[in-house]
Structure 1
């Protein structure tokens, strides 16, 4: 990076160069500014000292003043420029417009850099990396009308001087780190038209009533500002207001009726607060209102009739409240309504009969209520309906025939109602339909052959109905079909051959029908299938060996059929969490890998099957012909058993004295082994090695042993225990709960960056978890120990990417998603090649279970220095909590420092980095052991860490986004900019506001 200290030398060169003599003073000032900026993409290449004026340079505009051209505008947004704000810009006497948005402008914005910009009317420095306090000198610029400093890292308070802007019309400070209160003196800026302070971690405070003095205000955005208390009635005085957004706060009380005075308002956003009471009357007075969102509050009572009398109402969101009564009949009269979302309330009664007839209805979601009656026949009369979501109600009758002609539909979800009759034939084959969910109704008839037209269908969910007839052959022509769930129906006939040709199919559940014929063997396309449930049908013939070749199948249920023959040995290749072949007519030996406790109920009701290795059961069941087939195996097993016995006796004699005490009271015959992968060892080999000499770690949950198996491979064994509370309080109860959580989590995970859980063993109060062994231990021990010098930057970058991919799998690819809840460097393990794997899922939780009060939730979710700041006042965790913790891990990798260290005083690592960079620069936080030849990449990774550890959850990227940013920083793509600049802004990432059902 070129430094500003070189600018005088460049200045002298330009003065002496013959070419520079032609350039005017404003051009020289701009070249001085360029000298202080790093321009990696050479975007300012045509800023040439040989030109007479800079008026044709990139981003520079001029106009004639006093008979000469003078620079008035600098527009350099999105060019990846880095460095401090160039003070020489303010040497241009007529400069009125500066935009440097979406760059890497950094360090503090000094008052001295701005004082001479006296002609400035427009300043846009948004989406950069500016830090420190807001500059108090800005209000001294007499003509400044537009100021946008959003998406930076400004901290502290809004300066009192900001109450004295003489001409300011637009003030945007959104998405910074401002952490005091919203000051009342902002109500003194009488010229303001737009005030945007959203997404700052302000100290909890009320909305200043003084803001009602801004009688010219058109836009007021205070979303995510930590606001408490009631909405001031005085806001109703802002009669010119067109957009009010105070969502995502902790506001309480009722919505004041004075808001009905906002006759110019177009949009009102009140969602995600704690507002209560009824919706105010008089909203029909808001003749300009198009969108109102008061979702995710505690509103109660009836929906006022006049809400739907708002003449231009387009969008109404009132979901996740406690509203009751019926949907007003006026809803069917609203002429401009295209989106209505009222799910998760207590609404009852029928839907208006003319709903959709008079309005261009596109999105309707009234799920999770108590509605009854029929679906209005004209729901798609205007021909634009895309989403029809009516899940969990008491709707009855038949589907409107016109739904079969509603070609715009993309999502139809009608599960858990009382609907009946046949589904309109055209509905099966709508060309844009992606989800057709009819589960748990009383529909009848057949799956229509029209289904071949549903080229975009990904989820076909029709379980729990009375559908009959054959599955149409054309179902194999649906290239995007992901789920086909049709259990608990009356389907008959064989499976169509085309069903095996679905490349995207992941779940196929047809249990409890009357399907017959043989199972499909041509299933080479099922590379993504994870669940296959064909139980309780009339299938016959043999189990196809091809099932054993399905790479990710982990749920297989073929029980209660008429299957015959042997169990294919190939099924041993599957990694099954659920396996059931019970109640068929299978015969022969059960494959040896299924001889353990986990599969004890998988083969019941097959009298011809044999699980003992003597083979004696074969002749008694008429299968003596198989004896010779396995005789060689039995002889080998007996010989091997004899050898193992001799060696075992010798080993036991040598170790008897040392292990006698450790094994006291443990009966090996009563240990229960549950495996999650194909094992090459038994529980006895593990138990015999739990010596104190093999302990490699210890903690509150128990001890970790290194066990070297007979084949020379090593595993890690975590031993947990349960002790009565009277002895040790809750500590060991927590460890016991952690065992259950970790087994439930790791047992179903398959990912290269998640530590592999081989199996678990249980006996009374003693629990063992057997993992793959990671020879380099934890990242925390390695990074902060004596060997930290071995971790060069390339290795650290690889570790960050590996761990990110592991967490990304948990958050985005597991169903339901899993929140780790204790991401830290000590829970990231390193293999021999320093590949990283996420470990220790003792407090992990599937997201669908969070908030339901399991025992493990009593444990503090996280470790000191890694806990997201919002946990202190919400005691809730989600994916954003993991992302914060991962950000701390990245900062550890960059700085080499512990997350909490006496060196930081009362700060933690995140606060130390954020306070050190403005004072000393980014280089001062980089680990001294790292080679600065990688400085550019290190700094970009540092920015990703800061982004992940943002104090506001909404500013943190998803783990999928983090992986993408890290991948784009590989050595072979160093020239690429960080996606979206990698800056602290909520706008780049998935919408945190809940979507429809």
Structure 2
């Protein structure tokens, strides 16, 4: 028994230990994983059970021979610091934590322990700070993905010492410095992806041509300047080359034709010049080449189309000349050919389309002549045929009627004649048929009933005859019917009234007759109705007043009779014209004003209060006039008494406030950042309620006219406002010093397009910022008010460029980088000459206050309609958020509309612009107050705005690139001539398909 007692005690102790620590049965790898779990918060790790013998059955864990070799937890909502304990797993070869919320950094000491690691994937987390040097010390590392984080600073030089690395992806971070030459020493590299970083301007390192094993080289949007090094032509294994969205200049080196394995070459959106070199046609694997949006000239090389697998060729927006080569008709794999906006001329290859499986052909905005090739759709694959704004002649090919996949046909602004082939009217997938501004004849065919998907039919300014067929009522998706400027006759078919999607009906300047349609209440989407200059008779239908969104109504130049219906007062019309008819009777009160005089001219029977509109006065009796004058006198006397009382009270209140300010003025201190000729006392004397010019969440803004005649703007912060801003931004611990840190940062900024902070004044918790005064106020106030007429297109363009240069300075020239975080039109101020300055940095400095790199914030900062989509759910702070907001500002300048508006429904301005362009065309989003002689420039700025406001941050260019793109808008605008040598107005294709290519 005595011998048994020690054994019994030992067993009891063992059981007790198990009760205290249930994980004692777990192997060592499992214990390391539990340690890693403690650094994270995630329900995905709920089955990581300490009672298991091994972790090999846990979520995301893979083992070989009982040892953990892989941890894969992508998109698992992991939140917390980098789990350093994972690097204690001795055989861990693969770690995949992509699309989580791990941050803020990777401890160099921790990552150095992952000696067996082969793959590390941390794509899209919340990592900030510099790239860890220690990553290069991992001897087995083959694959490294750190893209879509917020890493900053230069790429460490240690990254040139990787032993086995084959794939390095640093896309979409905030990396600085220049693209390093030492990466050319990593001989094992097969993929080098560094696109969309904020590198300093620098060249493409010629040393990258030494990476003989390289297959993928992505350097898009890296601020690259200078020429493309010829050494890249030595990369015989390269399949993908992307140098797009940079500022590269000079010619395309002919050595690139030596990329014998190339599948895709992307050089678009640079400033490359010279001719396209010969030799690309010898690349046996080449499928796609995009050299659009450059300054290339000369002819398209004949051999370019001889690449046997070439599927997509984009050369648009260059200055290419000469004809489309005959070899284009023999490109047996060519699916997409976009050559719009060049200077191409001559005729098209007669066999184009017969041997080529074309899906999209866009030759718009050139000077191509001759006929459309007869067999353009012989392969039956064509979906988009865009040849508008050329000098094409002849007939529309009959073969298009057999092209059942066609979705978009745009042949407007040419010299086409003859009848439109009957079958073309009824193609089942056609969404857009645009044939306007030609010399087409014939009638609209009844087979249009088969056009089940037709949304936009534009056939204006031709020689079409006959009546509008009743079968038009079967086109249920029709949104726009524009057939003005033809010779159409007969009545409107009653079936038109059943088109519930109809938004625009433009039929002016025809020979239509009969009465206007009744029973049109299904036109709930109709915003424009123009039936002017026809022969319509009868009365104006009262039902027009029930159309909820109608804002353009023109019935002038007809033979309409009867009264103007009172129901029209329900409408909110931007354009209203019923002049030159035979209307009579009293006008509805809403329209019986001088403002509507021009709407009713040429109707001698109409009467109202508009002087001279009708011949007989409908005046009232003398007694009635006397009573009116008596009532007016009483009202005027009462108003005088009220105004005098208010003025006396206000004078007393102002005197009290001034006395109070004088008593405390000695307690204020002034800190200047520029040489100023005034004191804090001068500022305080101007803080009068009469001088308030604005008020917002952070304080009031005063216009202060100083004794020496100088005018400044004074922003007096509400008590504690700044502290609240700081705490909301996750910087509560620094609130006491936030004001001083902010003004020190802003006080150092010197840029013509950043509003100048002259000085600050402080007293206890009261703080004031004194800025240079901008007499024209904010862009938002001017643009969205009656003063918008001051902003013609050249002025708006200048404002856009000024604001872009200011933001570019903040993003790429300030150290540390400043992210504004509240870019909007109300924060862009205008001086007397309408030069623009970016203003109101109330939120920006919080990110940079302690000199840290941008990071994730705890709350959303910004204004409704301007906030980038990813910011709203990731709270990531970087320049891409500002660029999205600036894109919205560009759309405001182009459309004249605010970022959110009841007109958009549940959409914001970005979504409204995209959907409207897609459904109706670009002319429906451009501000009607702008001179369309600048349409090409306006449309290009619209495209830049849409690029900046891309839903994916990776697609948004850096602000420095945006500045260059805006500069090129005006530099590239050029006059065009018609076939007779006459000047044509500026033009730019407004299709969303081309916009997406941009």
Instruction: Give the TM-score, by structure 1 length.
Output: 0.71
Distance 1:348 1:208, change over 3 A: same
Selected match of 1:265 from 259, 262, 268:
262
Q: 497-506 or 300-309, which moves further after superposition?
A: 497-506
Selected match of 1:885 from 792, 809, 823:
823
Q: Does residue 644 of the first structure (1) align with residue 644 of the second (2)?
A: no
Task: Indicate the residue corresponding to 1:900 in structure 2.
Answer: 841
Q: Does residue 223 of the first structure (1) align with residue 220 of the second (2)?
A: yes
Q: Distance in 2 between matches of 1:850 and 1:200?
A: 38
Q: Is the 8 A contact 1:438 1:462 kept in 2?
A: yes
Alignment of 1:353-392 (within 5 A): 353-392=350-389
Distance 1:859 1:995, change over 3 A: closer
Q: Distance in 2 between matches of 1:61 and 1:106?
A: 24
Selected match of 2:27 from 16, 24, 27:
24
Q: Does residue 537 of the first structure (1) align with residue 537 of the second (2)?
A: no
Alignment of 1:25-104 (within 5 A): 25-39=28-42, 42-64=43-65, 69-104=66-101
Alignment of 1:663-678 (within 5 A): none
Report Cα offsets for 1:145-198 as digits up to 9, x if no partner.
Answer: 000000000000000000000000000000000021111000000000000010
Selected match of 2:328 from 326, 331, 338:
331
Distance 1:642 1:538, change over 3 A: farther
Q: Is the 8 A contact 1:244 1:267 kept in 2?
A: yes
Selected match of 1:172 from 158, 169, 194:
169
Q: Is the 8 A contact 2:401 2:422 kept in 1?
A: yes
Q: Distance in 2 between matches of 1:694 and 1:500?
A: 61
Task: Indicate the residue corresponding to 2:807 in structure 1.
Answer: 868
Q: What runs of 5+ residues in structure 2 fail to find an aligned partner?
A: 1-15, 648-685, 696-700, 730-753, 756-777, 814-818, 828-838, 862-868, 892-898, 910-950, 959-990
Q: Distance in 1 between matches of 2:623 and 2:547?
A: 32
Q: Is the 8 A contact 2:526 2:547 kept in 1?
A: yes
Q: Distance in 2 between matches of 1:592 and 1:57?
A: 77
Shift of residue 218, structure 1, vs aligned partner: 0.5
Shift of residue 453, structure 1, vs aligned partner: 1.5
Task: Indicate the residue corresponding to 2:132 in structure 1.
Answer: 135
Q: What runs of 5+ residues in structure 1 fail to find an aligned partner?
A: 1-12, 621-626, 660-692, 706-717, 721-726, 736-777, 795-820, 823-837, 875-880, 890-897, 928-937, 967-981
Report Cα offsets for 1:607-666 as digits up to 9, x if no partner.
Answer: 10112389995879xxxxxx8xx989x99998666523431255357759999xxxxxxx
Q: Is the 8 A contact 1:954 1:986 kept in 2?
A: no
Report Cα offsets for 1:841-900 as digits up to 9, x if no partner.
Answer: 425799x99999523544587889x953379999xxxxxx999615999xxxxxxxx953
Task: Indicate the residue corresponding to 1:247 in structure 2.
Answer: 244
Q: Distance in 2 between matches of 1:73 and 1:448?
A: 66
Shift of residue 993, structure 1, vs aligned partner: 8.6
Task: Indicate the residue corresponding to 2:780 in structure 1.
Answer: 840
Q: Distance in 2 between matches of 1:991 and 1:218?
A: 33
Q: Is the 8 A contact 1:176 1:199 kept in 2?
A: yes
Task: Indicate the residue corresponding to 1:855 in structure 2.
Answer: 795
Corresponding residue SS for 1:455: coil
Q: Distance in 1 between matches of 2:101 and 2:825?
A: 20
Selected match of 2:202 from 194, 202, 205:
205
The number of residues matched between the two structures is 782
Q: Is the 8 A contact 2:195 2:220 kept in 1?
A: yes
Q: Does residue 573 of the first structure (1) align with residue 570 of the second (2)?
A: yes
Task: Indicate the residue corresponding to 1:946 in structure 2.
Answer: 877
Report Cα offsets for 1:495-537 as digits up to 9, x if no partner.
Answer: 1222122222221111011111111221212222211111001
Corresponding residue SS for 1:129: coil
Task: Indicate the residue corresponding to 2:413 in structure 1.
Answer: 416
Q: 598-607 or 353-362, which moves further after superposition?
A: 598-607
Q: Distance in 2 between matches of 1:281 and 1:52?
A: 66
Corresponding residue SS for 1:854: helix
Q: Distance in 2 between matches of 1:926 and 1:454?
A: 47
Q: Distance in 1 between matches of 2:105 and 2:597?
A: 67
Distance 1:517 1:635, change over 3 A: farther
Shift of residue 719, structure 1, vs aligned partner: 15
Q: Is the 8 A contact 1:884 1:949 kept in 2?
A: no
Shift of residue 240, structure 1, vs aligned partner: 0.9
Q: Is the 8 A contact 2:847 2:853 kept in 1?
A: no
Distance 1:851 1:615, change over 3 A: closer
Q: Distance in 2 between matches of 1:491 and 1:719?
A: 61
Q: Distance in 1 between matches of 2:811 and 2:793?
A: 18
Selected match of 1:498 from 481, 490, 495:
495
Q: Distance in 1 between matches of 2:850 and 2:497?
A: 55
Q: Is the 8 A contact 1:26 1:71 kept in 2?
A: yes
Distance 1:656 1:83, change over 3 A: closer
Report Cα offsets for 1:782-828 as digits up to 9, x if no partner.
Answer: 9777699899999xxxxxxxxxxxxxxxxxxxxxxxxxx99xxxxxx
Q: Distance in 1 between matches of 2:201 and 2:424?
A: 51
Q: Distance in 1 between matches of 2:690 and 2:798?
A: 24
Corresponding residue SS for 1:34: helix
Distance 1:125 1:54, change over 3 A: same
Q: 51-60 or 89-98, which moves further after superposition?
A: 51-60
Distance 1:553 1:992, change over 3 A: closer
Shift of residue 141, structure 1, vs aligned partner: 0.5
Distance 1:850 1:119, change over 3 A: farther
Corresponding residue SS for 2:271: coil
